[in-house]
Amino acid sequence: MPTTLPSTSDPVIHGEQSVDVFGLLGLLWSRRWEVGVCVAVGIAAFGLFTISVADQYKSEVLVQARFARADPKLLSDVSLDAQSIIQTELSLISSRDVAEGVATQLGLENDPDFAADGLLKGPARTAREYVRYLRTSLVPDAPDTSENWIVRKLAKNLDVSNDPRSFLIRISYTSSSPEQSAQIANAFAEEYLRKRKEAEARRKLADLAETYGPKHPIFLKAQAELKDAMRAEGVTKNAQVLSWATAPALPSGPNRPLIFVITLIASFALGIALILFSEAAKTAARARRAQPQKASMHGH
């Protein structure tokens, strides 16, 4: 008995029958325009993403902590270990106090990149600015949150990490400008070292004042020396900068080729899924219509 292939209008899966590969391919070919529409929508979405999201550049500073050599008494306390001390330093770098110092140091309040979300550009950025304008207009008595906005954005794009096997601290900042990424990463390192120097100076002067008094020549000499040390760049008693950040030549993200490939695959798969779902719905509908006809035939 000769066998024939099912037409492309037949369902791909019939009850417990196995999938007919040629029938499936024929079905997809006959309805290829639906897959094409899904792929076109995916490409359009990728295009919108491309014009709305700017390239991101990541720049990094390397800081070497030196607690074990510089302050052995600190590590002699059993309640503190090296990793807990490093975590304290990471928290200090990520603190609001340091972020506010960076904002003041760089004058970010007047920087247009911090007036709206720097990840957006073109129509998306204009829309974001319009929403912020409406919010300010509708709530005129709302407090000025520009400083909070800058601090939040700095914290969002800042990454502070440590290699557990060493005292190396990595301070990374990501933005849409390679120069700005390097500038802000270096500013965080400088502000961290400045606060460290201040803490060291206060502690030493307090010890000398308690021992000699605030008017003793030794105290005054130490005070002058510490002021000079405060102006030294990139080094403190407990930390030093090993490598300052530089403007990266290539963006760190987003990975547009990978996103484009994923978009194509997802769009193609969505198109196939919609076709199969549509065919399954048609098969179920035909089965429901056939049941009353069979019942009437048995009745006769």
Q: What is the pLDDT along the chain (300 residues), one digit of tens a residue?
A: 444 444 444 544 444 444 577 877 888 888 889 889 999 999 999 888 888 888 999 999 999 887 644 444 444 444 456 778 888 899 999 999 999 999 999 999 888 878 644 444 445 455 555 555 555 555 554 454 678 889 999 999 999 999 777 789 999 999 999 999 999 999 999 999 988 888 888 888 888 888 888 888 888 887 777 776 666 666 666 788 889 999 999 999 888 899 999 999 999 999 999 988 888 888 888 888 777 665 555 555
Domain assignment present for 233: yes
Q: Are 191 and 235 within one domain?
A: yes
Tokens 């933005």 locate to 175
Domain assignment present for 86: yes
Domain assignment present for 148: no
Q: Are 183 and 226 within one domain?
A: yes
Q: Are 41 and 166 within one domain?
A: no
State which amino acid sits at residue 183: Q
Distance CA 288, CA 265 (A): 35
Q: Are 46 and 66 within one domain?
A: no
Q: Are 183 and 268 within one domain?
A: no
Distance CA 109, CA 149 (A): 10
Domain assignment present for 69: yes
- For residue 31, what are the domain limits? 21-51+255-282
In the chain, what is the straight-line distance between the N-terminal and C-terminal CA atoms, in Å?
32
Q: Are 95 and 188 within one domain?
A: yes
How far CA 75 is from CA of 66, 86, 204, 221, in Å, comes to: 11, 12, 19, 29
Distance CA 264, CA 42 (A): 7
